[in-house]
Amino acid sequence: MSQVAIVSRRLARAMAAVAICSAPTAAVLSVPLTAAHAQAPRPRVKMRAYPVEIVLDTLVYARDTVRAPMAETFAAVRATYAALKLPREWADSANGQLGTLRARVTYQLGGERLSQYFNCGQGLTGANADTWRLTIAMVTFLQPAGEGKSRLGTGVIAEAQDMSGVSTEPAMCGSSGLLEARILKNVQARLGQP
């Protein structure tokens, strides 16, 4: 499946989520919320390259289960972000969310060229991801999976801006899925799992 198709599919899912949330309802059920009933906040980001606000948990392509409780898994995710030098400004251990909503990155992320993780199109000098400035939103989500297990998945979206001095609109970037897989493998290794 091409990168454009993947980005289009993820964007369509995000737009559908926005449409569902904004649809009028026939009746409203009023239930007092307690801490047990409250939903986790859903990290959202608005980027100039995308026509709608993106809810990051709608971009999680795959969730995997690890044999560790939430607290231990969250600590492994935090250590993974630090070891890979991934930006993180969003840390909510109570709701199992860690990442960044707006990191500006050029050339490399986690010691790898940005084009390994993102497809932002091609220019005369090669992959735009390697020569343009990327704005990245990335959050790893954890959920309890019962019996001392946790499920985790990472949602990533990015846009690229040409830094050559020409004023242009930013370009959408599709994720290759390699960054999400690298985070998962690193977390599994930290938890002593294959």
Task: Check pLDDT > 60 for residue 20.
Answer: no
Question: Of the given ranges (17-26, 39-48, 63-72), which has the lowest mean pLDDT?
Answer: 17-26
Tally of domains within the chain? 1
Provide the pLDDT confidence category of residue 37 given band limits of 50, 70 and 90. very low
pLDDT in tens, 82-104: 999 999 998 999 999 999 999 99
As a whole-number percent, the residues of the chain with pLDDT over 90 amount to 72
17 vs 103, which has greater pLDDT? 103
Domain carrying residue 86: 3-190
In this prediction, residues 68-86 reach a mean pLDDT of: 96
Q: Which long-range contacts (CB under 8 A, 24 or more apart) does 186-193 make?
A: 186/80, 186/83, 186/84, 187/66, 187/73, 187/76, 187/77, 187/80, 187/152, 188/66, 190/76, 190/79, 190/80, 191/66, 191/67, 191/68, 191/72, 191/73, 191/76, 193/66, 193/67, 193/68
- Burial tier of 84 (Cβ tally within 10 Å: 0-12, 13-18, 19+): middle
Provide the pLDDT confidence category of residue 19 given band limits of 50, 70 and 90. very low
Q: Would you mind telling me the total number of residues written for the chain in this entry?
A: 194
How high does pLDDT run on average in the chain? Answer: 85
What pTM does this model have? Answer: 0.78
| pLDDT of amino acid 40 | 76
Task: Check pLDDT > 80 for residue 43.
Answer: yes
